[in-house]
Amino acid sequence: MTDTLHLEIVSPERLLKDVEVAMVVVPGTEGDFGALPQHAPMMSTIRPGVIEIYETEASAPEKLFVKSGLAQISDTGLTILAEEMIDLDTVDAAELAANLAKAQEDVNAATDDNVRGLAETELAWMTALSELVS
């Protein structure tokens, strides 16, 4: 029995991470879940939130914000297909606040359901991110 889990995080542009880890906590749409070595196969969509990556059982987690995506656990490990990952240390709180206000304006000004849905999606991930950096 192996004591590590192979983790790959892939964005549309590139492979972001390819490492062996002790555990990963993923913000699934049905709730957070932990992926450990020898985890049963499963798939989940990901909601805006923080992915916590534990390199060892005793280490502090590396935290990355994900807008949305898909997680798949198989016998080869955990693969996360992420729309976009954001390093929390690089977030400019003032810029995020301005973008959040603009996103709220876009939701309020939406003239049809499609435009409103897209604007609400942007607002949702920005709101989740702002709760972490403020």
CB atoms within 10 A of CB 7: 20
Q: Does domain 5-87 have CATH number 2.60.15.10?
A: yes
Average pLDDT over residues 101-127: 92
| Both tokens assigned to 75 | 């016998």
Question: E-assigned strands of the chain?
Answer: 5-10, 15-21, 23-28, 31-35, 42-46, 49-54, 62-66, 69-74, 77-82, 85-87
Nearest to 63 by CA among 55, 51, 71: 51
Average pLDDT, the chain: 92
Tokens of 128: 């989740």
Instruction: Give domain limits for the chain.
Output: 5-87, 91-133
Q: State residue 1's pLDDT score.
A: 46
pLDDT tens for residues 17-62?
999 999 999 999 999 999 999 999 999 999 999 999 999 988 999 9
